[in-house]
Structures are given as structure tokens and as C-alpha cells.
Amino acid sequence: MRLIAGFDAGQTHTSCRLALAREGQGPGVGPVISQGEGPGVCHLAAPEGPGRFGAALRESLERALAPLANATPAAVLVAAAVGASGIEQGTPVQAQGHHLAANALGLAPERVVVTGDERTALRGAFGDGAGIVVISGTGTIAVGRDGHGREHRCGGWGWLLDGAGSAMDIGRDGLTLSLHMADGRAPDTPLRRALWEALDLDPDDPGAPQRLKALVVAASFGPAGFARLAPVLDQQAAAGEAEAIAVMERNAEALAVMAAGVARGLDLVGPAVCTMGGALDHLAQLRRRFAGSLERALPGSRLVTATGDACQGALAMAADLSAPGCSSSLHPPCNTFRP
């Protein structure tokens, strides 16, 4: 049983989807048979980056393989594609990721492709067709393709430099406002109380601002800690809280500007635009305001539903590598896979 794997490796979690490789039918993805989840990744340049990258791939693959442990015939992994946060096309980081993935998955290098998760999302959303994907999760990026296969991206330069439109920025912007309220630079509103309570801080404690300052610089907080507060902003905006509404509008506009930048880079007129990522999926106020901002920033564009997600895009890339008839002797049986 020949399998291909598609990975979507983000900052908070990694998904591995397994499908049957098509036999004698040309390129394409066969039936999906299982999926597993693992931990997230971070930039490979970070000290813990390589270790986290390998662990995320191994753990998510092991969990996807678990239902096939007793499969007959034995499952054999023949190709894999990884879309990972922080992987830039044509860089040493991409080459490093490729080497790490081949080792972690026990595959020959020519049977592995590693790219940015925005590229697998684009492939999943539009196949080989034209369109733009706008992704907003913990981080954010937009990427598109024209009818000739050219691609262009905007954003995605890391949370320290370029996170506008992301859940991380929404949460951080809210906390910044809460401190302005606490020290008298802005009128106090229910937003401060809601955010501080979400962090288990007493809104009536005069020492809470100092505790907040220490909390956000802790190694365990990071971008994900800010991003977890985005739903609080969304709820407050839905309730009519003016400051929360302003945060959502500002971040929605930033996403629309990214989409417009991609369209200009590819000379796309009235392109199809697809949204992806946890922030746009789950923050209703951000999603609604993005639709309005997109109409203003990119007239004639249209929001569409993705054909498939980033894991499906990764599977399509893996299928391109699993040419029918390729020898499986290079690859270990999946049910004997070991980290």
C-alpha cells in the first residue's frame, strides 16, 4: 500500500494527511485515508528550530499512521510534501528544511519537497489555476498565481516586523490599548477588563500592569500568547466596543492591502481571492470587515471558497513526486516507522 503524505506545519500545530498514491493513472492524489496532528514549528534559524521541525513531522506522521499499524499489505511511504511556516523559496532555510524533512521521514531527498505553507495553501485553493490566497493565523501572508504560473507574495516577514492582520497583532494591539487605559492615556472601557481577565489578571489590582509586562516577555508567551487574545477582541467588537472595532478594522484593512499588492505584482484584474487561517476562519468581525476592505482595495475581486486546504495542496505536490513505478525499496514500511 503506497502512501503519500502532505504536511501543513504552522506555528501552533502540524497536520499530516495521508493518501494512497495513484497507480498507473498519471499524477494525482488518491483517496485520503488518515490524518494526524502534532506540535507546531518555529523558524529554522531559531536555536530550537531544527529540533522542533523534525519532531513536528515525526509526531504528526506517527499519529496519522496509527490506524494503519496492522494494515495488510504493509503501508509504504513513497513521497511527501511539507508546507511550513517560515520557509522562503530558494533560500538556505528551504534547503535546510528539505534535508531535515528527508531525514525525519526516512525518504530519499528526491521524494520530498519542502516549501512555505502559503504555497501549499495556494495549490490547495486553486490547483494550478490563478488566484490569491490571504492567510491570517498566528501570522499572516498573501500569495497568488497568474494564469502563466508566475507567483508573487506580500507580507509574511515575521511577527516582529510584519504581522499586521494576524491574530498575534490583534491580541497585541488590544493589550497595548489596555495599558493606555490603565495609565490614563485613553478612557477605560470593558475591553481592558475582558483582556486582563483572559490572562488571569485582576483588573482592579494596581499591580496588574507590572505583572502584564512581565507575562508577555516570558519565553512561554510569545506570538501564540498574543494570538490567543484575538477572540476577546472579536467578542468585544461584536458587542460594539469602539476600540475593539478599530483594531479589527485596522487589521482587516492590512489584509486587503496585501491582497491588492499581490494583484499588482501579477497584473491580475478582478482576481478570485480565498481566505485561510484560524483568524479569518474563526474571527467573524475580522472576516466581515476584510470583505469590505477588499472591495475598496481591490475593486472587482471576488471572495471564493477554496477547492482544498493546505494539506491537500501538499498532497498534490507529493503526488507530483510519486511517479508510478518508482521503487519503494528506498523507503521504510510506514508501520515500522520510528522517530
- Each residue's pLDDT tens digit, 189-203: 999 999 999 999 999
By the 8 A CB rule, do 10 and 40 touch? yes
Identify the pLDDT of residue 25: 56
Identify the pLDDT of residue 336: 38
Cell, residue 28: 494525482
Q: Is the pLDDT of residue 338 over 50?
A: no
Q: What is the dihedral of CA 70, 74, 80, 84, to 10 degrees?
A: 10
* Second CATH level (architecture) for the domain 167-303: 2-Layer Sandwich (3.30)
Distance CA 252, CA 156 (A): 15
What lies within 8 Å, CB to CB, of 25 at 6+ separation is 324
Fold exhibited by the domain 2-127+308-336: Nucleotidyltransferase; domain 5 (3.30.420)
Consecutive H or E run containing 264: helix 242-266
Identify the pLDDT of residue 86: 84
Identify the pLDDT of residue 85: 85
Question: Mean pLDDT across the stretch 247-263?
Answer: 98
Question: Mean pLDDT across the stretch 90-104?
Answer: 95
Model confidence at 24, in pLDDT bands (50, 70, 90)? low
Identify the pLDDT of residue 26: 58
- Each residue's pLDDT tens digit, 271-296: 999 999 899 999 999 999 999 999 99
CA angle centred on 34, ends 33 and 35, rounded to 5°: 145
Distance CA 74, CA 71 (A): 5
Q: Is the pLDDT of residue 266 over 80?
A: yes
Identify the pLDDT of residue 332: 37
- Each residue's pLDDT tens digit, 212-251: 999 999 999 999 899 999 999 999 999 999 999 999 999 9
Question: Mean pLDDT across the stretch 116-124?
Answer: 95
Q: Is the pLDDT of residue 29 over 70?
A: yes
- Each residue's pLDDT tens digit, 153-206: 999 888 889 999 999 999 999 999 999 999 999 999 999 999 999 999 999 999
Distance CA 67, CA 197 (A): 41
With a pLDDT cut of 70, the percent of the chain lying above it is 94
φ/ψ region of 72 (left if φ > 0, alpha if ψ in -120 to 50, else beta) reads beta
- CA-nearest of 256, 328, 325, 326 to 286 is 256
Q: Would you mind telling me the total number of residues written for the chain in this entry? A: 339
Q: Is the pLDDT of residue 144 over 70?
A: yes
Return the SS3 of 339: coil
Model confidence at 69, in pLDDT bands (50, 70, 90)? confident
Q: Which has the higher per-residue pLDDT, 1 or 325?
A: 1
Cell numbers 490547483 correspond to what residue?
127
Distance CA 5, CA 120 (A): 13
Q: Is the pLDDT of residue 330 over 80?
A: no
DSSP state of 27: S
Cell numbers 500592569 correspond to what residue?
209
Consecutive H or E run containing 37: strand 29-39
- Each residue's pLDDT tens digit, 291-304: 999 999 999 999 99
Residue ranges of the chain assigned to CATH 3.30.420.40: 2-127+308-336, 167-303
Identify the pLDDT of residue 70: 83
By the 8 A CB rule, do 304 and 271 touch? no
Report the chain's mean pLDDT, rounded to a whole number. 91
